Structure 1
Amino acid sequence: MHFTFPQKVLFKHCDPAGIVFYPRFFEMINDAVETLFSDLLGWPFEDMHAEAGVPTAAFDVRFKRPCRHGDQLELRLTLTRLGRSSLSLTTRAVRQDTVCFEADQTLVCVDSEGRPAAWPEHVRARIEDIMEAQT
């Protein structure tokens, strides 16, 4: 695990039964990824989006346990593979040692025209450092 993002399940995340409506998990993952880029990689979205972006190219999610209003989740992000313009990562949402969902995601660094672009050198170096420290 390379980054942890605390997430309380709020009323806005839930359906009328008080269970998280599954598209809200994608918003939570995006919040965690945005914070990872800002806090861990030093490339905040508000700076990045002037000339680049990191859209998600692929998602594979496995829902294991329901989450309910008031649950305290910990989203644990692990960087798994770095390509020329791609980054794969896994997010595990954990509630008191119980995995609620796992998501494998691939981001692609794109230029201002939306075409794949190599990672900026400072970002690539930071990702490599983080991934090497974990091995």
Structure 2
Amino acid sequence: MFEHEWKCHWGQVDPAGIAYYPRLVDAMHEAGEEFMESIGISYWDVKEFDMDLPLVAMDMEFRKPVFVGDTISIEVEPDIGNKSLGFDFTARHEDGAVAFEGHEQHVCVDEDKQSMVIPDKVREPLEEAIE
């Protein structure tokens, strides 16, 4: 399982000192990007395969606030479909308490923005990462 650490800084909180929710969305997406880079495929690199992976759905459920100075660990679990790629995220505080859970769903599209089967050069490293 891939994990990405994220620290909440002063500029990322609301007046109550709690992480402003769009920053947690950013942190979640950043964890997905870091996972892809860890297997040798960045979102930008997929263009060399004449494809793209736009986000088509996303959801989050907040469980425990993240305060300024907190570091959370975001677990990333990919879900590989034929023409889609999903990510399930679980963010945990240092004590193991769940801060949030989320999901992103991407679809694989060609240059004309039509859905396409995920190419083997992308699928194979994804499958190796979850074995």
Smaller-chain TM-score range? Answer: 0.7 to 0.9
Q: Deviations over 1:1-45 (max 9, x none)?
A: x211110011232112211111111111111111111112x1112
Q: Structure 1: state its 5+ residue gaps.
A: none
Give the aligned partner of residue 41 of structure 2. Answer: 43
Match of 1:124, SS state, is: helix
Q: 1:111 to 1:83 in 2, by over 3 A?
A: same
Q: Percent identity of the aligned residues?
A: 28
Give the aligned partner of residue 100 of structure 1. Answer: 99
Aligned residue-pair number: 129
Q: Write out the 4+ residue segments of structure 1 that deviate beyond 6 Å after TM superposition.
A: none
Alignment of 1:42-81 (within 5 A): 42-49=40-47, 51-79=50-78, 81=79
Match of 1:116, SS state, is: coil
After TM superposition, give the deviation of residue 121 of structure 1 in Å: 0.8
TM-score scaled to structure 2, two decimals?
Answer: 0.88
Match of 2:32, SS state, is: helix
TM-score scaled to structure 1, two decimals?
Answer: 0.85
d(CA) in 2 for partners of 1:20, 1:58:
22
Match of 1:70, SS state, is: coil
Are 2:86 and 1:88 equivalent residues in the alignment?
yes
Give the aligned partner of residue 110 of structure 1. Answer: 109
Which amino acid in the other structure matches residue 128 of structure 1?
E
Q: Deviations over 1:39-74 (max 9, x none)?
A: 12x111232246432222222311101111110111
Match of 2:44, SS state, is: helix
Q: Structure 2: state its 5+ residue gaps.
A: none
Give the aligned partner of residue 126 of structure 1. Answer: 125
